[in-house]
Amino acid sequence: MHKANILTNAFMRFTQQDQKYIGRDVPAISIEITGAQGSYLYDSTGRRYIDFVMGWCVGNIGWGVREVEKEIENFDGPDYVNPYYLYKPWGELAEILASIAPGKLVKSFRATGGTEAVEIALQAVMAHTGRTKFISVEGAYHGHSLGAMSVGMSYFHEKYSNLLPGCHKIKPPLDKKAAHEVEKLLSKGNIAAYISEPIICNLGVVIPDQEYFNIVQHACKKYGTVLIADEVATGFGRTGKLFASEWFGLKPDIMTLGKGLTGGYGAMGVAITTEEIAKSMEFNFSFYSTFGWHPRNAVAALANLRYLLKRKKTILDNAQAQSAYFEKRLSVMKFSSPTEVRIRGLAIGIESKQPGYLMEVTKRCRENGLLVSELGQNAITMFPALVIDRKTAKEGLDIFESCLW
């Protein structure tokens, strides 16, 4: 049998197996990934793709970094540590996070990923304030637990009637008017927390006005409301600063992290809090996580962060330089419908007025060797590696431009 036919038959069997046994929220994209290096992914046919998704804000330092992989390969610690015991890498990792986090964040509560980190944060603020109501941004995404969905898009409330009540949603644009709407809600004195990404990736990289967060942060302090910065997607350099909170001078009471925490070399999340909030949480409510900060994942996170922080200036400078290049190229491209480009660092959103247009662009890109991420029918996001070089950026943008019509 011809080699191409063998590959096709094997792929069909694999696809059928996936369809039969793997539960998904959306149909799988028909690419079997077998390798990853730098800013590239490779499929089972040997085809190379330029990766402008990077696991959706996961692979900030790129795939296949040998320095990181070697530390993980050389791991000779315990297979598992009960969360109630002591384990040195946990303390080392938590100390690093406390040293780089904005404001007075100091105490890490261990999680397996971003959703669990958000869930811990929501429970923590209810324990700390004695309140049960929340404010978040309409259309945002904070995870798929019942609590995280409660502060997510209203669509979740339509699907699940048993989500947390009293969750107020602020509709973009996030400007002075929206900030005063938040302030009015906070003035009632019954809001446990305001939670949002500093830059909202899941809405196509919505960037709030500086004045918005000035007002919101001041109002949270005035009315005793906890400010939660969800930096699961935006953390660890994605927006051109180590944390997106830095763009707005935010000093959150709790910050949730994931994705770029391990860079894809492991699975981990964390809710890091101030000492004040930690005191009201510790030994006072349950946040046990069986696999939170598994030993191997702790090593992966340490290796990833050491690599990133050792090269922090170089990596962030590159992210800003490539950001300017992406903005320059995208701003002059000929889209067939009115289109808005939003960019901060290497978090890039493109929104069209024509439903379905950018979905077709995404498909054409994939067929031509470029991976971008569609958001519904009207938007595309790009999250290239922070270490992407100009040659790869140009090649990817050339493909993207050729797929427009």
Are 48 and 158 in a shared domain? no
**Of the residues 273, 292, 310, which one is the last residue of a structural domain?**
310
Residue 328 lies in a domain: yes
Per-residue pLDDT, 34: 96
229 with 257: CB under 8 angstroms? no
Give the distance from CA 370 to its chain's centroid: 21
CATH number at residue 346: 3.90.1150.10
**Of the residues 310, 327, 355, which one is the last residue of a structural domain?**
310
Residue 245 lies in a domain: yes
Are 269 and 358 in a shared domain? no
| Other Cβ atoms within 10 Å of 77 Cβ, number | 13
Are 268 and 347 in a shared domain? no
Among residues 300, 268, 294, the alpha carbon closest in space to that of 111 is found at 268
Are 202 and 249 in a shared domain? yes
Backbone angles phi, psi at 230, to 5 degrees: -85, 100
Amino acid at 111: A
**Splitting the chain (405 residues) into consecutive groups of 10 residues, what average pLDDT does each group show?**
63 90 91 97 96 98 98 97 97 99 97 98 95 97 95 88 93 98 98 99 97 99 99 99 99 99 98 95 82 98 99 99 99 92 98 94 98 94 99 99 94
Per-residue pLDDT, 5: 60
Are 255 and 373 in a shared domain? no
Are 300 and 324 in a shared domain? no
In this structure, are strands 133-137 and 167-170 parallel, antiparallel, or unpaired?
parallel
The rounded distance, in Å, linking the Cα atoms of 87 and 77 is 10
Are 205 and 335 in a shared domain? no
**What's the Rg (C-alpha) of the chain?**
21
Report pTM: 0.95
**Of the residues 293, 310, 327, which one is the last residue of a structural domain?**
310
In this structure, are strands 370-371 and 347-352 parallel, antiparallel, or unpaired?
unpaired
Residue 1 lies in a domain: no
Residue 12 lies in a domain: no
Residue 15 lies in a domain: no
Per-residue pLDDT, 281: 82
The rounded distance, in Å, linking the Cα atoms of 384 and 370 is 11
Are 318 and 297 in a shared domain? no
Residue 32 lies in a domain: no
Please tell me the total count of domains within the chain: 2
Per-residue pLDDT, 288: 86
Are 347 and 365 in a shared domain? yes
Are 194 and 296 in a shared domain? yes
Residue 46 lies in a domain: yes
CATH number at residue 203: 3.40.640.10
Per-residue pLDDT, 7: 59
Are 287 and 272 in a shared domain? yes
Are 252 and 394 in a shared domain? no
Backbone angles phi, psi at 341, to 5 degrees: -105, 125
Backbone region of residue 264 per phi and psi (left: phi > 0; alpha: psi in -120 to 50; beta: other values):
left
238 with 232: CB under 8 angstroms? no
Residue span of the structural domain in which 163 resides? 75-310
Per-residue pLDDT, 91: 98
Residue 247 lies in a domain: yes
The rounded distance, in Å, linking the Cα atoms of 168 and 177 is 16
Per-residue pLDDT, 12: 86
Among residues 200, 143, 128, the alpha carbon closest in space to that of 170 is found at 200
Distances (CA, A) of 365 to 208, 400, 404: 29, 6, 9
